[in-house]
Structure 1
Amino acid sequence: MRFLLMLYAWYVVGLCFLVSRGECVIHKSLLKDVDSVNKVGSYIGVVVPNGFEMNPLLQSSSFVMDQTRPYLDISGRRFRIGTLENQRVIIVMTGLSMLNAGITTQLLLSLFNVKGVLHFGIAGNANTELEIGDVVIPKFWAHTGLWSWQRYGQGPESELPLESNGDYTRDVGYLKFSDYNNDTTIDNLLNNVWYQPEEVFPINTTPETRQHAFWVPVDKHYFTLSKKLEDLKLEECVDATTCLPRLPKVARVERGVSANMFIDNGAYRTFLNSKFNVTPIDMESAAVALICYQQKIPFIAIRALSDLAGGGSSISNEASTFAPLAAQNAVATLIKFVQLLHS
């Protein structure tokens, strides 16, 4: 199936050249380079949101850049080629947001011979049992930015627009804005928003057949292997004077969520944790998970907690101080995980 998918992708690209080379996104010479990369064998795809999260990995002695072809630039993305702990990898930065993460991951899987995807970065924390600097590995990911927003006057018993067509559902649950009024006895014109699963189109099903996914699981083997990371020693100090109250740890957790929002609000953080039992909150992981789920590619995400989303100081967000430390801990965990994969 993987071979047929890649063959189809090359067929589509070939048609593009027949129509008009000038309209093609990828030049013929670049496609030859992609083909040369794939002939070497399969790769682990490493997907990371931002440069400050990626740079510690690129600067690590564990990463060795390919001397013949260190990178390929495609559609505004740079696909860095090399080895990480002697495992062939392609590292790519997505940029912020679900859209960027989804597009970049699909490009990676469509063009290159990728046998698994490792995603890493920093995240906000919704679980008060864990602390800044800890690295978490969720078993499930969900996109919590897809809503059906009810008009004022309707309640939980009211059918959602297009619900009878199967477009929207009340199965996942909702947020009632009036629960967060200063005076909770007053209604709120914002009413309720209902969380919705994504429409997905797995490659092994009939095209355009409606399927839905909310909680997307990571790869079972990857998640089992990640238990061996729980004793990994992580950094606790940003510098000589700025340290965390305890040594950070790696923890496997049940759930993480993503949406196109930077969450710095204690009330919403508490809601997400109590409603969905989530720990990390970010803007990309669920998009990567959904693409890998549809393409049937093994996936896991490693996220280091940089702040208590909307907690701590009311003046500033802790991420401004601890993001570099969290990024370094995420990289250290990723490298150790690749060692486990290789062994």
Structure 2
Amino acid sequence: MPLNPLGLICAIPNEIQHFGSAFVKNSERLIAGFSFYSGKLDGVETVLVEAGMGKVNAAVVTTLLMEHFKCRAILFSGVAGGLDPRLGVGDVIVGNKLIQHDYGMTVDGRLMTYQPGHLPIHMPTEQLGYDVDLNLIDKIMSELKEFHLPEISAEAAGGQKRQPVITAGTILTGDQFIGCTMARDKLYNDLSGLAVEMEGAAIAQVAERYKVPFLIIRSLSDLAGEESTMDFVKFLEETAGGAALVLRRIINIV
């Protein structure tokens, strides 16, 4: 009996284009204004869709992938802003936990991040974020141990070409583009996020409801701070390919 397809989401065309001829399209279906492309990615049955940016778009597309295509797992490939000062542009994060950093309760002018669907005053919970299956992460990181991404240009690397790092860690999600060093440092210190983006944890929330695995892979296009807007535009094309290459390497594991 054939396996159900994987669902593969990207937010913007710059992220999708890096799959190139590796994705062989068989058919296209338009649902709610989104184009879903059924085909094979490196021989694996896959439904590919461009969601647009933000948590709502990501949640809608994930739901449609489950309801109309019965996907057995949901994957995301794209770029993010870096939070961990030890990481650089071009490094790739495999999310082992996804947290919505902009959901919670404001107290004394400060947002207390909390689990979506809960508040301390109603349905309290100890859970924060959505964890990826640990065995899956272990298999992926083992597969990637001997895998090397192309060097990042000297301009993107801040001086000299460098080999991008691939690591697993927490990815934060919110409907905000972080262009502020103070906000970046707060997110890193408060939630231990390695990267910040606008879709991943919404995908995770829906996938958890449907009880299917999910995996978010992000390459750093910028280091979320005052220069991030310019760096995002400048390095988007070069860096988005890193996440796509990592995803293609591990697609048979999911």
Question: TM-score, with normalisation over the residues of structure 2?
Answer: 0.89
Q: CA deviation at 1:40?
A: 6.5
Matched residue type, 1:338: I
Matches within 5 A, 1:248-327: 248-253=164-169, 255-310=170-225, 313=227, 317-327=230-240
In the other structure, the counterpart of 2:39 is: 82
Distance 1:219 1:108 in 2: 20
Distance 1:90 1:77 in 2: 12
In the other structure, the counterpart of 1:215 is: 129
The superposition leaves residues 223-252 of structure 1 with CA deviations (integer Å, 9 ceiling, x where unpaired) of 1222122432212345xx745331112111
Matched residue type, 1:247: Q
Matched residue type, 2:36: F
Q: Is the 8 A contact 2:97 2:129 kept in 1?
A: yes
Q: Is the 8 A contact 1:137 1:252 kept in 2?
A: yes
Q: Is the 8 A contact 1:78 1:93 kept in 2?
A: yes
In the other structure, the counterpart of 2:70 is: 113
Q: Is the 8 A contact 2:104 2:116 kept in 1?
A: no
Shift in alpha-carbon separation, 1:65–1:40, aligned structure 2, 3 A: farther
1:141 to 85, 88, 98: 98
In the other structure, the counterpart of 2:241 is: 328
Distance 2:198 2:179 in 1: 13
Distance 1:276 1:299 in 2: 21
Matched residue type, 1:198: P
Distance 1:217 1:142 in 2: 9
Distance 1:299 1:285 in 2: 9
2:117 to 188, 199, 224: 199
Q: Is the 8 A contact 2:184 2:224 kept in 1?
A: yes
Matched residue type, 1:134: D
Matches within 5 A, 1:170-189: none
Q: Is the 8 A contact 1:219 1:300 kept in 2?
A: no
Matched residue type, 2:56: L
Q: Is the 8 A contact 1:85 1:339 kept in 2?
A: no
The superposition leaves residues 124-163 of structure 1 with CA deviations (integer Å, 9 ceiling, x where unpaired) of 000011111010112111111113223xxxx5xxxxxxxx
Q: Is the 8 A contact 1:120 1:302 kept in 2?
A: yes
Question: TM-score, with normalisation over the residues of structure 1?
Answer: 0.67
Q: CA deviation at 1:92?
A: 1.1
For this pair of structures, how many residues does the alignment match? 246
Does 1 or 2 have the higher relative contact order (CA < 8 Å, sep 6+)?
Answer: 2
Q: Is the 8 A contact 2:90 2:152 kept in 1?
A: no
Runs in 1 of length 4+ with deviation above 6 angstroms? Answer: none
| More strand by percentage | 2
Query: What secondary structure is seen at the aligned counterpart in 2 of 1:65?
Result: strand
Distance 2:133 2:34 in 1: 26
Give structure 2 stretches of 5+ with no counterpart. none
| Larger-gyration structure (1/2) | 1
Identity of aligned residues (%): 24
Give structure 1 stretches of 5+ with no counterpart. 1-38, 156-190, 201-209
The superposition leaves residues 278-334 of structure 1 with CA deviations (integer Å, 9 ceiling, x where unpaired) of 1010000010011001110011110001111005x49x6311221111111111111
Q: CA deviation at 1:221?
A: 3.5
Distance 1:106 1:281 in 2: 22
1:64 to 24, 27, 39: 24
Shift in alpha-carbon separation, 1:211–1:53, aligned structure 2, 3 A: farther
Supply the RMSD in Å over aligned alpha carbons.
2.2
